[in-house]
A and B are shown apart, each in its own frame.
Chain A
Amino acid sequence: MNFQQHETSLKNTDDMPPWAEVMRSFFSETHQLFATLQMEANKVAEDEVCVFATVPDFFSYKDDDGSAHPGAYTIILDTVFGFAVFARIQKPKAIATINLKTEYLSPIEIGAKVICSAECHAVSGNIARTRGEIFDYDGRPLASATGAFMIASGGPDFTGLGETPRS
């Protein structure tokens, strides 16, 4: 597994579709949660979204133990699933998680650098299904999950979100 092969950089703002612009803005400093997890998109394609993330130290929940609460996995997966839906429908629509089922395959440590790979593999009406995994940099699987999302027909308009906080 070579994560370096995808050099799709969201820092290059030219010829970026509007939904990807939304995603880029989510990964900027303006989104506190994603900034603290140091989330950075590595690949954005209709069939796969890959995001790097680092487990922050405040996920520590046991004494004298470097382990992080596995809830960190759910935050990363729910986020990347959302972007996998955007990448599939190619529109920055409002979406909401309906269910998230997460399998914890291996414990996670504070400061661990991980990669999350996800895809939206089915869209039926307003319901989108996602699946994905989290790996460490050696390719060892840490968590796997599936999700169902509701795609709103109306709802908040994401276009322009990228511009507003940049004053």
Chain B
Amino acid sequence: MTQLLDSPLGSWLRFDVEENGDDALYSITPNDAHIGNPLIKALHGGIVSTFLELAGLHELRRSLSPDADGEAININVDYLKSVALAPLFAKARIVKTGRRLVFIDCVAWQDAAETPVAKAACSFVISR
């Protein structure tokens, strides 16, 4: 389970997970390397997408088994608000787990969970 956290990508994003019972709170702590628009110092949209998908994959492994793996099929991200260069938090919710497929929704926020900045729907095919 620590695989994603310790991976080069996890370190680059400073990806973290805080697990509290059934709940997992995901976060990244971005820096200048993750800026998309340098004028307003906004986080790059692709970084937000990558983070939400990582959170989704971690949630998939938590829910199935640490040995289970998922291969993302596609991801749809909605950008609700510009994302500042500050810690970004997310929760992932498994919408449906089938025999072959898992559908996961993720929501990201910065200041408060009530004011989301992005949301994503990810589909994974399970590879065991």
B72 contacts partner chain A, Cβ-Cβ < 8 Å: yes
Residue of B whose beta carbon sits closest to that of A150: B79
Q: Which of chain A's residues have a CB closer than 8 A to the CB of B35?
A: 31-33
- A interface residues, Cβ below 8 angstroms from B: 26, 30-33, 36, 57-63, 69-72, 74-79, 94, 96-104, 107, 156, 158, 161
Inter-chain CA distance A71–B75, complex, in Å, is 9
Q: A58-B12, A62-B7 are known contacts. Are A74 and B32 too (CB-CB below 8 A)? A: no
Interface residues of B toward A: which range? 35 or more
Please determine whether B53 and A99 come into contact, CB atoms closer than 8 angstroms: no
Q: Are A104 and B34 in contact (CB under 8 A)?
A: no
**Alpha-carbon separation in the docked complex, A48 to B112 (Å):** 40
Give min CB distance, B66 to chain A, whole Å. 12
B49 A78 Cβ-Cβ under 8 A: yes
CB distance from B117 to the nearest CB of A (A): 12
Minimum CB distance partner of A36 in chain B: B33
Query: Across the interface, do A69 and B53 meet the contact criterion of CB distance under 8 Å?
Result: yes
Residues of B contacting A31 with CB < 8 Å? Answer: 35, 38
Set of chain B residues within 8 Å of A58, measured between Cβ atoms = 8-9, 11-12
Interface majority SS (helix, strand, loop, mixed), chain A: mixed
Q: Are A103 and B79 in contact (CB under 8 A)?
A: no
> For residue A102, which residues in chain B have a CB less than 8 angstroms away from its CB?
49, 74-77
**In the complex, A69 Cα to B3 Cα: how many Å?**
13
A33 touches B34 (CB 8 A): yes
Is B78 an interface residue, CB under 8 A from the partner? Answer: yes
Task: From the candidates A61, A75, A161, name the one contacting B8 in the complex (CB within 8 A).
Answer: A61
Beyond the given A26-B38, A78-B45, could you list 5 further A-B residue pairs with CB under 8 A, ordered by the A residue number?
A: A62-B69, A71-B53, A75-B46, A97-B79, A102-B74
CB distance A97 to B10 under 8 Å?
no
B33 touches A32 (CB 8 A): yes
Contacting pair A61 B9 (CB below 8 A): yes
Is B72 in contact with A33, judged by CB distance below 8 angstroms? no
Of chain B, the residue at the smallest CB distance from A143 is: B74
Distance A100 CA – B76 CA, assembled complex (angstroms): 6
